[in-house]
Structure 1
Amino acid sequence: MLTDAIKSEIQSAYSTFLKNRKLKARQGQRLMVAQIARTLGNIQTSSDGVRTSTAHVCAIEAGTGTGKTLAYLVAALPVAKARDKRIVVSTATVALQEQLIFKDLPDLQKYAEISFKYALAKGRSRYLCLSRLEQSLEEASEPQAAQATMSLFDEFLQSNKSSKEAVALYQEMAQQYLSGRWEGDRDSWKDSLEEPVWRRITTDHNQCTNRRCSNFSSCAFFKARNELDGADIIVANHDLVLADLSLGGGVVLPDPQDTIYIFDEGHHLPDKAIDHFAGSFRVNASLQWLRLLKKSLTDLNTELGRDELILRQLNQLPEILNTLEIELAECYRQLHEITHFSPENMDKDVRPVYRFEKGIVPDALTQSALNLKISFASLCQKLEVIVKQLKDALDPEAASALGKEESEQWLPLATMLHGRAVSAWELWGMYAAPQVEGVMPIARWITLQNQQVDLDLEVSCSPISAAGTLARNLWQPCFAAVLSSATLTALGSFDRIRTRAGLPEDAACMVVPSPFDFQNNGVLALPEEACDPTQSELHTLQIVTFVKEKIKKEEGTLVLFSSRRQMRDVLDKLPASLLNIILVQDDLTKMVLLERHRARVDDGQGSIIFGLASFAEGIDLPGKYLSHVVITRIPFSVPDDPVEKTLSEWIEAKGGNPFLQITVPDASIRLVQAVGRLLRTESDTGTVSLLDRRVQTKRYGKQLLNSLPPFKRHF
């Protein structure tokens, strides 16, 4: 029950925060606080705190300016403390994580005058691994000692070879970490780090040896993990939450049954979940590492053969590797016959894709996939034993034939090989799975890729919905969950997020009002240059005309494109004088581009940003920094996306209309996000120009327009 004591605590924290910040309560914010408090407070539990009731999830759409972060924090924290639960706030972007950690949570402590602890959670791969760092420095100082490893697996180590600059960087990192001036996480290092350089000195769940590691007591990841144990609120991201749930929950984050999840930017969760369970496999690249492993078996026997159990596994590998070579060669031949790809198919921006209709693959390929699944399973078993023996050898009390230093040297390579084998086994298992009538299919497709100087075939597959996965792994086991976003509804309904995310039927859904005066502060315009984008050449010329003649050059402007190629075509047709004030997404990092944009506006100059889909969301340019948003076309999804097309086929087979059920609602979400870049504070003003006449000429146009904020319209 939501007791009077909890209600009083929530009301007190909320009113104290507003009073100390000299703010007025917002209607939408108050409604949001009340809904979350009701959902969480009315959950019934057993005597040992296990949830026994079903209504434990709510989804709340709250536009910019509502103050949703304060609402969900001030509503959830008293309930969590009273129920002895912990809160995991999960976001889709680093920017929101940083805002929570460095601003929102400290502000809540200070101005609401409540006591709680919070921490930021990241995966192991964001942290320095001291053992890997030591190994990299040792190999640099004693190159001969690393020679055996180099000959063992050239491809793996060559891609991670330490340059003089990298060695100097590693030495500086060691000094900074050991002196306490750096906490060992990638994001707090003073400079950006290239992926190959960082990858060499970090680790993952499979490679980490936990308490067996000699550096366990000073490990950056486990130091951070210890901070999580005492935190009332843990800030994470959707990927980390999904990874933790896929491992059973409670591995990095708290146990789901003891957790209240709050998914900010919750509209991203279904797509993140789909991506998390997708897989891919490059045939030639995999043949390469398998052949390198085969060629290196002699060295492996020499280095690790003293362990009898490892030796038995190594002696069985040649037969497995020979079988895999034959099976992959046959599979490659089949794929070529199916796809008919050739080098002429390659394009600078687009990779050729062959998609299996309805996810159904030919019987011969299904049999090949089954054979590969069985063979990779055998390889996984052998490598798993080798990895276990190497990890056991790190235990000082274990009676191992291998030394600790040897085990530490070979373990990263063994776990990498095991990880690749497991990924391959999972993918071919998804390809070999028969399509059951009436069951949602798996999307399966082949892509032609560059592989250094050669071409390669990438075999991919993905679930087409995250509903079942999220229902099983998240909604059912968790104590409670809140989804929050400015865009949870599509075309005025929660049907899309309910279906895509598999929300429980009894999940409470609510839209709270925005505090913005859209009618007086914003204009939605359909200029005379707007046309039907299916006339691509005309549309591009009309965009060029609009940019040249209708954009005020002294203002802050954002022009959003759905196509990189069209963005480049427009740039090519603009005069040089105009190019001087245009900042292009591909030319700079997002952070640098936005800094330059703000600096130009601060100096009284105009600045125009040309951006793609990623600039239609998460860009915060309040006030004078953005007074005009230009949307070149309705942001429909890419028509040849394999997952979307397979989902469309499934809906058609069930008698539905995929364009109206998927394409239009998805475009509505993206359009609302893009329009949402304009007004970021209650005092902001400006114009949104839509250069797509279809909102006026097509039947779905009215639906899209009705889903937008109630701006004054100039049509």
Structure 2
Amino acid sequence: MDGKRYAVVDLETTGHSPKSGDRMIEIGMAIVENGSVTKTYSTFLNPGRKIPAFISSLTGIRDKDVADAPMFEDRAAEIREWLEGCVFVAHNVSFDLPFLQHEFRRAGLPKWSGETVDTVELAKIIRPSAASFKLQDIAAEFGIGLENAHRAIEDAKATAELLIRLQEETDRLPEPTLSILHKRSFRLKSDLSSLFYGALKQKRRHAAAEGGYLVWKGIAMKEPVPQKERISARIAYPGNPEKKESLFRNAFEQYEERPAQSAMMDAVYSALESKSELAAEAATGIGKTFAYLLPAAVHALREGKPAVISTYTNHLTEQIIGRDMEKAERAVGVPLRTALLKGVGHYIDLERFSRILAATDESYDETLAILQVVVWLAGTETGDLEELNVSGGGGLFLDKIRKYRAAVREGELKKIDFYLRSLDLARNADLIITNHAMLLSAQDRSHTPFPRLSGMVIDEAHQFITAARSHAETLFSYTDFKYTLGQMGRSGEGLLQDRFVSLARKTGVPGEREAIRAGDMYDRAMDAFDAAFEGIQLLIQTLAEDRPHEQKRTYALADLEPLVPLCREAGDRLYAYLDKVTELTSPLLAAGGHQPEEARFLSEWQHWIREIRLQAAGWMELFGPAGLEDAAAWIEADMRSIPGSLKIVRQPADVSGMIRKSVNPDGRFGVIWTSGTLSLPGRERFIADQIGLPGTVGIRKFTAPPEFYRGAKMFIVSDMPDILNVPQQEYIESVADAVVQAVIATGGRCFVLFTSHDMLRKTYELIVDSELLAEYMLIAQGITPGSRMRLLKSFQRFSHSVLFGTDSFWEGVDAPGDALAAVIVVRLPFSSPENPLFKARAAKVAASGKNPFQELSLPEAIIKFRQGFGRLIRSTSDRGAYIVLDRRIEKKSYGKDFIRALPPVPVEKVGLGDMVLELESWYNDEV
């Protein structure tokens, strides 16, 4: 610590605006000196007005509690005296300090002046990978107790402890990191520069070589963790039940015999040994991951070549690395060399980041993100930017420092490049853990990132279809397009194109005249695009006249057919400009000898040329001569903001060929396709045909015994309104009521699954505004910042939590044991019939004389419904309720198909009140 006194303050108030009459009802202060809390201060304050009900609900402070309390004016001098000579600290200084200053002025006291520390800002920098920076959440991450949140003294003491912990972590950072923090922290909102300088002085005072770090261009990075030594011993596969049981007892602290798991292990090993394909449908509860991981590991060790394990999401890949691999190692009895391999865009480009560090012109969001990255680099082992929790413009900043290609590196750069490190680990691994997107992108490269393989396991195989469509998707966004192309700027705007002309004039290479000519070509290309966008806007507005009340519209790209020549001309002009500036840039780069500022400009110039070329390629793929055979293409627009909201999307309808090419076994190694849903009752090969699985490969099913699901119940809420016959708002209000009651009955630990982001948002906002779940951590996909993996980690970390999710939370996430008490299905997961991709696929089905609903819509919805249930029961000790709010499951003839697709669990059709009583009784019995 730096010897300063810190006054850590928290206020409880009647609202957020003292100018509008809001007043303080409680103040808490904790004085921190030399790394510990030395004294505290707390008092209720009479606000002279009624406390709003939602404030009482949040804080527990009622009118009677403050009726005999002093007014602020009575304690103002005393409070101000406590602050004298201190650094003012709060968790969100921008609220507490202005409120307090206003009250001091109202009491006739002078404005307080001094340094401030915002622990939100400090936590974001020092713990950049934290799941959440709310006080309760970040305190829990440090193990700081906070039982009575939203009470001033409790919050103040927790914030004081947080400040101490953050200062301790700051003191442990390496000197190069502290030096950057101090240099750049003058741009922050609170006075952290003083805190960082104190840590830096202390570090320099005790100067000693700091082990465990690499330092490159003044950036400290954690030394790479050495890969485990390769074990050459030939491991025997456990071919009989006794040997398997022995291995299982080594792997699991609580061994649970699972015959289906053993049978699947044998099938996987046999397919890998014979270099054949296996399609394995593995029901929830048999231990699917271990059933393929163990035989894949044994086979890889015996072959001396790695096996690839591919999953749909990065969360699943990290789950295998973090949890399942340790069990596999214990089972085989030797260390396993594993590598987590992601797409190049996940990794930081250190060269680009170092160039940004050398510049000084940046926004607050960029400064904050830079400091977060600098601290993160001192601790990360992967270089995966997904580990960072940034907000606001921080996300845009991370996009600037992502790698865009895997360039060849030698010497020092090869050692520090995180992506190249991961490739080296993969080449020498026994098991490579990756995702479907990486497998699909590998087929587009001249040099595969995957070495010679001993086998391949495709987990969540049915999601390979979605991944393939996304991989082949062309997406045009007007906003992104204008932002990217706008970086160049028209002549006279002082942007990159004008700077290029200035550099060409200064160096004589390629010459001012040629650079100006290139700028004229840019202006003509922009004029052509403006004409094209004007035409698109007019055409869409004309088409919209038949549906005047709909704001958000989707149209087939074919509707733009009259504008194709105009759009194609704009693309041709942009390509001509790109070819010209590329031609002019080459001699400028070859000339060398540039000053640092010129070198930074050229790096930025090349970056934006590459980005514009990607935009041009996407545009011409949409409007070029290739056509739209076997693809769906559509335009999305919000009529309130055209052309800003304009998006154009193209996806192939059939991806089976692409999938086969990406896997490409060709008899060289065995391939295992596995999922909890590879078939449906009456539709055995629904998934197999879409992934291009040969008809000679049958689907083997491995099921859990019925008693595995004894802890599960399914509730159909019979008094919900009919979703098809009431206004959406009325249904949302009923959903919100049902969710609130179910959450309170179970104590949280609920997934609420939607099929629409719009309905999710409206339901979430209604519940938040009601304050009925104020004591729960509400996490909403698309609203709460962070990736899916980060949201799930937040849900698992806090016992009283509720997660509102859409498509990606119906499957592929694991919340075992007490982490999940209920899954609430808001509506049956049918695809929208207006979804353009669905319409294109449905048209093909209809053209073949079949019913698109029966052949496409219903089976896909049942698969997702079945996957949603799979989130609930992960072991025989799990208990949970699967709650369906959509009454179509009992009223429509197809409802029985949804129920039939689930394991044998009790199904109860009850009113909401009766369900809540049963949940409360069940939950109380459990705890």
Q: Specify the TM-score bucket, using the shorter chain as the normaliser.
A: 0.7 to 0.9
Determine which of 560, 564, 571 is the counterpart of 2:753.
560
Kept in 1: contact 2:299–2:454 (CA 8 A): no
Kept in 2: contact 1:328–1:372 (CA 8 A): yes
Aligned to 1:243: 441
Kept in 2: contact 1:449–1:457 (CA 8 A): no
Aligned to 1:41: 273
Aligned to 2:703: 513
Q: Cα–Cα, structure 1 residues 227 and 284, in superposed 2: closer, same or farther, change >3 Å?
A: closer
Partner SS, residue 427 of structure 1: helix
Q: How does 1:491-502 map to 2 (within 5 A)?
A: 491=681, 493-502=683-692
Amino acid at match of 1:20: N
Q: How does 1:156-175 map to 2 (within 5 A)?
A: 163-166=366-369, 168-169=371-372, 172=375
Partner SS, residue 215 of structure 1: helix
2:671 pairs with 1:475: no
Amino acid at match of 2:644: L
Kept in 1: contact 2:537–2:643 (CA 8 A): no
Amino acid at match of 2:702: V
Aligned to 2:117: none
Aligned to 1:692: 886
Distance (Å, rounded) in 2 between the aligned partners of 1:129 and 1:596? 28
Q: How does 1:209-248 map to 2 (within 5 A)?
A: 209-211=407-409, 215-248=413-446
Distance (Å, rounded) in 1 between the aligned partners of 2:470 and 2:373? 33
Distance (Å, rounded) in 1 between the aligned partners of 2:547 and 2:561? 28
Shift of 1:483: 2.3
Partner SS, residue 246 of structure 1: coil
Partner SS, residue 502 of structure 1: coil
2:838 pairs with 1:640: no
2:336 pairs with 1:87: no
Partner SS, residue 882 of structure 2: strand
Aligned to 1:199: 399
Q: Cα–Cα, structure 1 residues 400 and 440, in superposed 2: closer, same or farther, change >3 Å?
A: same
Kept in 1: contact 2:297–2:307 (CA 8 A): yes
Kept in 2: contact 1:118–1:233 (CA 8 A): yes
Distance (Å, rounded) in 2 between the aligned partners of 1:261 and 1:450? 49
Distance (Å, rounded) in 1 between the aligned partners of 2:771 and 2:632? 51
Amino acid at match of 1:410: L
Kept in 2: contact 1:523–1:712 (CA 8 A): yes
Determine which of 12, 15, 18 is the counterpart of 2:248.
18
Distance (Å, rounded) in 2 between the aligned partners of 1:7 and 1:115? 12
Greater Cα radius of gyration, structure 1 or 2: 2
Q: How does 1:137-148 map to 2 (within 5 A)?
A: 137-140=357-360
Distance (Å, rounded) in 1 between the aligned partners of 2:883 and 2:440? 38
Q: How does 1:311-460 map to 2 (within 5 A)?
A: 314=515, 317-318=518-519, 320-340=521-541, 352-356=552-556, 360-382=558-580, 385=583, 400-401=591-592, 403=594, 406=598, 409-433=601-625, 435=627, 439-448=629-638, 455-460=644-649
Distance (Å, rounded) in 2 between the aligned partners of 1:270 and 1:248? 23
Determine which of 480, 489, 500 is the counterpart of 1:300.
500
2:65 pairs with 1:65: no
Aligned to 2:915: none
Distance (Å, rounded) in 2 between the aligned partners of 1:658 and 1:571? 35
Q: Cα–Cα, structure 1 residues 347 and 422, in superposed 2: closer, same or farther, change >3 Å?
A: farther
Aligned to 1:46: none
Residues 109-146 of structure 1 deviation map (CA, whole Å, 9 limit, x = unaligned): 22321453111113333333332232122212xx6xxx
Distance (Å, rounded) in 2 between the aligned partners of 1:417 and 1:444? 27
Shift of 1:545: 5.9
Distance (Å, rounded) in 1 between the aligned partners of 2:422 and 2:371? 26
Determine which of 295, 319, 343 is the counterpart of 1:75.
295
2:722 pairs with 1:532: yes
Distance (Å, rounded) in 1 between the aligned partners of 2:490 and 2:411? 29
Aligned to 1:584: 778
Q: Cα–Cα, structure 1 residues 565 and 427, in superposed 2: closer, same or farther, change >3 Å?
A: closer
Distance (Å, rounded) in 1 between the aligned partners of 2:583 and 2:862? 51
Aligned to 1:620: 814
Q: Cα–Cα, structure 1 residues 569 and 342, in superposed 2: closer, same or farther, change >3 Å?
A: farther
Aligned to 2:193: none
Q: Which moved more, 1:630-639 or 1:299-308?
A: 299-308
Q: What TM-score does the superposition give when structure 1 sets the normalisation length?
A: 0.79
Aligned to 1:50: none
Distance (Å, rounded) in 1 between the aligned partners of 2:662 and 2:351? 33
Partner SS, residue 636 of structure 1: coil
Amino acid at match of 1:127: Y
Shift of 1:634: 0.9
Partner SS, residue 237 of structure 2: helix
Distance (Å, rounded) in 1 between the aligned partners of 2:857 and 2:514? 51
Residues 582-604 of structure 1 deviation map (CA, whole Å, 9 limit, x = unaligned): 55333645778767766775xxx
Q: What TM-score does the superposition give when structure 2 sets the normalisation length?
A: 0.62
Distance (Å, rounded) in 2 between the aligned partners of 1:498 and 1:274? 16
Q: Cα–Cα, structure 1 residues 259 and 440, in superposed 2: closer, same or farther, change >3 Å?
A: farther
Partner SS, residue 235 of structure 1: strand
Aligned residues: 655
Shift of 1:512: 0.8
Distance (Å, rounded) in 1 between the aligned partners of 2:767 and 2:353? 50
Distance (Å, rounded) in 1 between the aligned partners of 2:659 and 2:901? 27
Distance (Å, rounded) in 2 between the aligned partners of 1:479 and 1:383? 47
Q: How does 1:604-683 map to 2 (within 5 A)?
A: 609-683=803-877
Kept in 2: contact 1:555–1:624 (CA 8 A): no
2:457 pairs with 1:262: yes
Shift of 1:500: 2.7
Distance (Å, rounded) in 2 between the aligned partners of 1:313 and 1:501? 52
Q: Percent identity?
A: 21
Distance (Å, rounded) in 2 between the aligned partners of 1:454 and 1:362? 14
Amino acid at match of 1:245: Q
Distance (Å, rounded) in 2 between the aligned partners of 1:268 and 1:708? 19
Aligned to 1:504: 694
Q: Cα–Cα, structure 1 residues 657 and 378, in superposed 2: closer, same or farther, change >3 Å?
A: farther
Distance (Å, rounded) in 2 between the aligned partners of 1:31 and 1:404? 67
Partner SS, residue 90 of structure 1: strand
CA RMSD in angstroms comes to 4.1
Partner SS, residue 689 of structure 1: strand
Distance (Å, rounded) in 1 between the aligned partners of 2:567 and 2:520? 19
Kept in 1: contact 2:709–2:873 (CA 8 A): no
Shift of 1:274: 0.9
Kept in 2: contact 1:58–1:481 (CA 8 A): yes
Distance (Å, rounded) in 2 between the aligned partners of 1:187 and 1:283? 26
Shift of 1:346: 13
Partner SS, residue 497 of structure 1: helix
Partner SS, residue 116 of structure 1: coil
Partner SS, residue 525 of structure 1: strand
Q: Cα–Cα, structure 1 residues 633 and 289, in superposed 2: closer, same or farther, change >3 Å?
A: closer
List gaps (5 residues or longer) in structure 2.
1-232, 910-927
2:261 pairs with 1:29: yes
Kept in 2: contact 1:283–1:328 (CA 8 A): no
Higher normalized contact order (CA 8 Å, seq sep 6+, divided by chain length): 1
Partner SS, residue 428 of structure 1: helix
2:475 pairs with 1:274: no
Distance (Å, rounded) in 1 between the aligned partners of 2:660 and 2:477? 31
